[in-house]
Structures are given as C-alpha cells and as structure tokens.
Chain A
Amino acid sequence: MARQSQPAMSRALQRRENVSGYLFMLPSLIFFAGFVIIPMFICIFLSLTDANMHGSSMFGNFIGFANFVKLFSDKTFLRALWNTFLIVVVSVPTVCIFSLWVSSAIYKMHGAARSFFRIVFYLPVVTGSVAVTVVWKWMYDNYTGIFNYVLKGVGLIDKNINWLGDERFALWCIILILFTTSVGQPIVLYVSALGNVDQSLVEAAQVDGANNFQVFWKIKWPQIMPTTLYILVITTINSFQCFALIQLLTSGGSGTNTVMYYIYFTAFKLTEQAGHFGYANAMGVILALAIAALSALQFRLAKEK
C-alpha cells in the first residue's frame, strides 16, 4: 500500500510544483516573451524580407538572403563593421587592464576610501550618456574646448584641432569617452572579486617566499578568472552597442560610423531609402552573431587557461 501511494503522492506534489511554478513565472514570462523573444523572431524574419516604411504590406516580401549578400558589398557597412571591430579591440583590453589595476590598488583600502574611488569611477555611467556626451562635445570644441587649450599650453600641438571633425581623431575621441563610461562596472566587480580571494592561500605563498607579482599571477589571477570572463563579455557587448556617443557627437561622420549607428540610420534617417527595415534587421542579425561568436570565443579561451 505504502509503496503504491508513494508515486501518487509525489505526482500530486509535482503537479503542485508545476502549477505554482508556472503561476509565479507567468507575469515575468508575459513581458519576456512579448518584448524580447517575439521581437527576436521578428528581427530574424524581417532580415529576410524587403520590408520598409513605405511599402504597402508591413512585413514586405520574402527575398531570402539577398539583404546579407548586399551588405557585404555595401562599402558603408563594411567601414562601419571595421570601426565597430576597432572600438571593441581597443576598448575591451584597455578597460579590463585599467579596471584590474585600479581595483588592486583600492580593494585593500579603508571602507570610506574604497567607496569613494568606486563611486568616482562609476559616476560617468550614472550620469547618463546624453549628459556625458554634451559636456565632452564642449571639451572637444574647436574654439572653446579645453583640450585644445591644455594641449597648446603644454606645447603638444601648435594650432587648434577640430577633434570631432577630423577623420584622424574622431573615432579615438569617441573611444576615450566610451572608456570613461565603461570602467565603472568592472571596477566594482574586480574589487569584490579580489576581496573574496582565499587569504590563506595568499599567506601560504608569502610564507614560501613568493613576491607580490607571483602571488598575483599564481594565486589571485586564477581565482578572479570567472569575474574577468564576465567583464570581458559585458565590455564587448557594451562596446558593440556604442550608439549614443556616435549619434550625438558626429552622426556617423568623420569616419566614425558603427554598425549600431548604421542600423539606426538605415531604419530612420537614410534619405533615399529611409525606413529600410529589412536591411537594417539583417545588420542586427550580423551584429548579434558577431557578439555571440566573440562571447563563445572568450569562454573557450578562458576555459583553456
């Protein structure tokens, strides 16, 4: 009897778990499915159509992979892809190294000092991209900007540079701003990760005569590896999505076009083919694939270590 009633009991329990589980999930799933999953499928679907703002049907005609083929002969897109790649390749390692250095310098400080530095480096993120961009635009300004004034003062340049209007500098100016708004979160993460490093291992190594560099490389670095990986992934995603800076500072001019901006431009701004949603979504799909591939690569590399 008892043996027979056991599975029946657990089945009732399983049903209760199912029903309550689904009910608790339901409100969140409505939003998740409605505003994340469904748009993802629409994005993939639209990328295979010639949908645009003016067409009679909202979803256009099915044209297979024609958008993707066209993309890879679109010089503007290839340039935007290259710029995006450059931003990622420059900013990801610099953000990681810089935030690791700052964190190792501050994580042992007293609570107040540590909080102070953590807050200072996080402030540009909180300030918001529009406010940050507006003030940097002034600092880069040709006539009233402080960059020209200071650099002339110390003798590095002898006449004013139009930072954001010059192909040689514009992208680097944007990377600099992106950098200041990207280090906040990694620093918070590294400070907490370094604080959690097993102190007994560090002491044991020091007793054995290991120097600071060895302690860092052999003991701390492997232990903070998961954090590093997470930071690499979020910084990569952030750099790929660099949009507000471009839109507000150069509108994609001076050789600063990125994929994210070009998507926006194609969907809303391009004059002769404005509202070309199919084409824009094809770029979105490529961007998503690129990010997925890079994230997978980073996981792979981290695992091998």
Chain B
Amino acid sequence: MKSGVERVSAYKVISIIVLIVLAVLFLFPLYWIVTGALKTSADILAPRPVWFPTEWTLDNFTRLFDRRSATLFDLYIPFSSLFSSNGEPILLLSGPVVPAAFRWLLNTVFMAVVAMLLTCITAAMAGYALAKKRFRGRAIVFGLIVCAMALPKQVILIPLLKEMALLNLYDKIWAVIFPTVGWPFGVFLMKQFSESIPSEILEAARIDGASEFKTFTTVVLPIIKPGIGALAIFTFINSWNDYFMQLVMLSSNSNYTISLGIATLQAETSIDMGILMAGAALAAAPIIIVFLIFQKYFTQGITMGAVKG
C-alpha cells in the first residue's frame, strides 16, 4: 500500500517535470520571436545562438517600417463604382502615408472585428431559431450545416475566388469577411447554447404579447450572452489567422493583412531574420493579448462546440 502511494507520487513528480520542460519548449518559439525582433544583426547572425540579446535595439522595426509604405486608410464613396465613369470606386479621403505594416494591422483589425460582429449577429439569430423554433425544413438546414462543418473549408476557396471575381469583390477585404461569416460553426455553437433556454420563458413572453423580435432581444440574448462571448473571441482569432483565405483573396499592398504582409516580406528578404522577427512580433502580439484577456470565454467556446447536438 505504502509503496503504491510512493510510486504514484514519484510518477507525479516526473510528469510535472516533463510538463514544465514541454511548456518551455512550446514557449521557446515565442521567446525567440520577441528577442529576435530586438536583437542586433550581429547577434542574429552569430554562428552560436545568442540566447539572451547582448544589446537591445529597435533597429529591426525601423527597417521593417522603412521597407514599404501605404496610406493609413482610404475612404471611398459607398457603391460609387456603380456610377463612376471608369467603374472604379471614387476616393473620398486618404489617410497620411505611414509604414505599410500599420495599414496591414488596421486592415486586419477591421476584418476581424467586422467578421466577428456579423458572425455573432447572424449566428445568434439562426442558432436560436434552430434550437427553439419548430419551423419546416429545420432538419434539412441543420443537416446541411453539420455536413458543411465536416468538409474542409479550403477546398472551396478556388470556387469562392471565382465567385468573388464575379461579385467584383476580389482584392477587397469583404472577400475574406463574407466566407468567414458564412462558415456554419457559429450557428452550430449558438444552437448548443440556445438549447438551454427554458421554453416556458419564451411561452410566457408570447402570452404577454411580446413580438418575436422583442422576445429575442429581451429574453433570449441575455441568456445566451456567454455563448456569444465565446463565439466572438473564437471568430476574432480564427479570422485574424486565416492566412490561406487572405492569400487567395487579397493581392494589393494596401489591402494586405498583417499575416499576408509578413509572408510577402519573407519571400522578399528571406535572410534578414531581424525584419522577419519584428514582423512576426507585430502580427502575433495583438492577437495573443486578445487571447490572454478573453481566454476564459475562448475555452468555453471550444468545449461547447464539441458537445454533440
């Protein structure tokens, strides 16, 4: 009996040591990005790795910012391409010229935020309807959603590209946003959360004469709020990191996302590790901070999605 207890604790000690070693290994690439971004070229090119920078410098960021520039933003008159003489949208206002990385970051934030908002709104409504409304064709819609979720999203990217070209959306940030919103995972997740709404409350609201929309905003939304939080953070991170979609849909410097911009720099300057680490740090830092702040919701979203419906 006693030896059994000792063996268990020995196993525990060993497993904790292994876990700590693994944690260090998993954190190392991040450490290497951050220190690499702040190292001098001499430290970076040293044949024996400099584990801790001998001298801190922002030089890599300066060189990254000097490489490419773009206007901070361009505001077009909405739908002006429909009536302008050359079919191009009419430029209303341009921001100041800044290092392109800032424009890329702004594009990425815009993309992720809009995708997140649209996904949350549409998925909350649809998930509620699927869970609580006994409308005709409900089973078919839900079946389609489950099937689509099991299929690899990337397979349809080339047809999507054709479609975007037809819709005149190619090389526009919307071409990345719309398919993200269309991806049915969010609807599935919100259906799981909406199942927990007690039907009696909905019944009571109906008897009180509340309209369907009022019931949704005043009764349903407060109950599924944690679910929406989970979906929001999940969509934000996935959209930020969906490199393949961005690569296929966006082609001009001023429409790049930060991932795409860094990937392009990598193709251009594959030996200048300093610039690349600075770029990687710039691309990863915002999303990691968002993740750390909201990780509780995030965990919840991942686990809820796995519960079979």
Cβ contacts under 8 Å, A143 to chain B: 47
A105's nearest neighbour on chain B, judged by CB, is B15
B236-250 with Cβ < 8 A to chain A: 237, 240-241, 243-244, 247-248
The answer to whether B150 touches A233 (Cβ under 8 A) is: yes
The answer to whether A31 touches B122 (Cβ under 8 A) is: yes
Say yes or no: is B116 at the interface (Cβ < 8 Å to chain A): no
Binds B, one of A66-74, A165-173, A288-296: A288-296
The answer to whether A17 touches B133 (Cβ under 8 A) is: yes
The answer to whether A248 touches B266 (Cβ under 8 A) is: yes
Q: How many residues of B contact A (CB 8 A)?
A: 91
Give the docked Cα–Cα distance between A115 and B252 (Å): 40
The answer to whether A58 touches B212 (Cβ under 8 A) is: no
Say yes or no: is B173 at the interface (Cβ < 8 Å to chain A): no
Give the distance to chain B from A237, nearest Cβ to Cβ, in Å: 6
Known: A123-B27, A146-B49, A189-B303. A46 touches B159 (CB 8 A): yes
The answer to whether A284 touches B150 (Cβ under 8 A) is: no
**Per-position contact with A for B115-130: 1 when CB-CB < 8 Å, else 0?**
0001001110110111
A267-305 with Cβ < 8 A to chain B: 267-268, 277, 280-281, 284-285, 287-288, 291-292, 295
Cβ contacts under 8 Å, A291 to chain B: 150-152
The answer to whether B138 touches A21 (Cβ under 8 A) is: yes
The answer to whether B133 touches A284 (Cβ under 8 A) is: no
Binds A, one of B59-67, B74-82, B92-100, B287-295: B287-295
B270's nearest neighbour on chain A, judged by CB, is A137
Give the docked Cα–Cα distance between A135 and B277 (Å): 7
Cβ contacts under 8 Å, A128 to chain B: 240-241, 243, 259, 283-284, 287
Q: How many residues of A contact B (CB 8 A)?
A: 91
**Per-position contact with A for B278-306: 1 when CB-CB < 8 Å, else 0?**
01110110011001100100010011001
B262's nearest neighbour on chain A, judged by CB, is A130
Give the distance to chain A from B174, nearest Cβ to Cβ, in Å: 11
Total CB contacts across the A-B interface at under 8 A: 258
Say yes or no: is A192 at the interface (Cβ < 8 Å to chain B): yes
The answer to whether A292 touches B280 (Cβ under 8 A) is: no
The answer to whether B163 touches A38 (Cβ under 8 A) is: yes
Say yes or no: is B19 at the interface (Cβ < 8 Å to chain A): yes
Say yes or no: is A219 at the interface (Cβ < 8 Å to chain B): no
Give the distance to chain A from B224, nearest Cβ to Cβ, in Å: 13
Say yes or no: is B26 at the interface (Cβ < 8 Å to chain A): yes
Give the docked Cα–Cα distance between A39 and B129 (Å): 25
Say yes or no: is A149 at the interface (Cβ < 8 Å to chain B): yes
Cβ contacts under 8 Å, A20 to chain B: 129, 133, 135, 212
Give the distance to chain A from B79, nearest Cβ to Cβ, in Å: 18
| Interchain CB contact (< 8 A) of B179 among A35, A180, A230 | A35
The answer to whether B125 touches A135 (Cβ under 8 A) is: no
Give the docked Cα–Cα distance between A131 and B281 (Å): 7
Give the docked Cα–Cα distance between A46 and B158 (Å): 10
The answer to whether B306 touches A40 (Cβ under 8 A) is: no
Say yes or no: is B73 at the interface (Cβ < 8 Å to chain A): no
| Interchain CB contact (< 8 A) of B32 among A138, A212, A268, A280 | A138
The answer to whether A32 touches B292 (Cβ under 8 A) is: no
The answer to whether B276 touches A284 (Cβ under 8 A) is: no
The answer to whether A132 touches B29 (Cβ under 8 A) is: yes
The answer to whether A36 touches B279 (Cβ under 8 A) is: no
Known: A288-B151, A292-B151. A22 touches B122 (CB 8 A): no
Say yes or no: is B183 at the interface (Cβ < 8 Å to chain A): yes
Q: List 29 A-B contacts (CB under 8 A).
A: A16-B212, A20-B212, A24-B125, A24-B129, A25-B135, A27-B125, A29-B141, A31-B178, A38-B159, A46-B158, A46-B162, A102-B19, A102-B22, A105-B16, A120-B23, A120-B26, A120-B27, A123-B27, A123-B288, A124-B26, A126-B291, A130-B243, A130-B262, A141-B273, A149-B49, A230-B308, A267-B158, A281-B159, A291-B150
Interface residues of B, Cβ cutoff 8 Å to A: 8, 15-16, 18-19, 22-23, 26-27, 29-30, 32-33, 36, 44-49, 118, 121-123, 125-126, 128-130, 133-136, 138, 141, 144-145, 148, 150-156, 158-160, 162-163, 166, 178-179, 181-184, 187, 212, 216, 237, 240-241, 243-244, 247-248, 259-260, 262-263, 266, 270, 273, 276-277, 279-281, 283-284, 287-288, 291-292, 295, 299, 302-303, 306, 308
Which 5 A-B residue pairs are closest in the complex by CB-CB distance? A21-B135, A28-B126, A35-B182, A21-B133, A24-B129
